[in-house]
Amino acid sequence: MLDLTKSRAILTGASRGIGPVLADALAARGVDLVLAARSEAGLEEVRAKLERHGRRVLTLATDVGQREQLERLVEFAQRKLGPIDLLVNNAGIEQTSYYEGLELDAIEQFIAVNLTAPMLLTRLLLPSMLAANRGHVVNIASIAGLGPAAFNEPYCASKHGLVGFTRSLRASLKAHGSAASASAICPGFVSDAGMYQDVHVRYGVVAPPQLGTCTPGAVAQAMLRAIERDEPEVIVNGKAIRHLLTLGMAFPRLSEWLVKRLDANRVSRELAELREAGV
């Protein structure tokens, strides 16, 4: 378990979506931060709002899909703050669409941002965490990393990979006997900010009531709980999601039937149709 007070963290995807909420939760716990995202103006806006917590908050515009920028981010953070003992991989991209119509470059970009970047950042920071016998890697994944998500093949594949990476990394650290650890946070539809909120505002689609939504604040609390209690994975949405995922593991065909009965893929189907129509 990592004591967050006076910890030093890198948070990616910090300028929008749930990123500012995660940043605020960490700063409120006494964490010094390096915030990373592509938007320099967005990062500065978040930094200014965090001043009330009295922690050091630095920003660096970063495209996590570029390896050299990840190396620059780690060098900057370590030079400015010292050894980094907390990494929160939050940056992610999503596009619900027909897979057969996706550009090949887009598929590569999904994997680069959602999976390769967290793996590379972890690799760059892990040696110092092991040397200090202190640290935590938090990967903001998704329930799409635990079960199928129609019309989201690259996103789903990258989040499955991120969950698998987290599980393997955590197992390795436990086998090492290290106090450093790793956790995956798996929200479903997040209201008020982020990917689902964007499409809700733009297209008017609504999450199936059986699956429900969660708030950015709930995701932030799940992140803090995972760090402070060293929890392997936290599913942020309600019990319906948990039951469906459990069924999917034990009885895949029954799970498919239930998903169809619940029309659980309605939102993604509607989005794919709208985007195919050029809306």
pLDDT tens for each residue of 199-258: 555 656 666 666 667 799 999 999 999 999 999 999 998 666 777 777 778 888 887 777
Render pLDDT for 72-121 as a digit per residue (tens, 0 to 9): 999 999 999 999 999 999 999 988 889 999 999 999 999 999 999 999 99
Choosing from 99, 155, 196, 203, the catalytic residue is 155
Sign of CA dihedral 171, 23, 63, 235: positive
Q: What is the dihedral of CA 174, 180, 186, 187, to 10 degrees?
A: 160
Residues 198-207: tens digit of each pLDDT: 655 565 666 6
Its pTM stands at 0.91
Boundaries of every domain in the chain: 8-276
Integer Cα distance of 263 and 109 in angstroms: 29
Report the alpha-carbon distance of residue 183 to residue 221 in Å, rounded: 13
Catalytic: 155?
A: yes
The whole-angstrom separation of Cα 195 and Cα 46 is: 18
Domain made up of 8-276: CATH architecture: 3-Layer(aba) Sandwich (3.40)
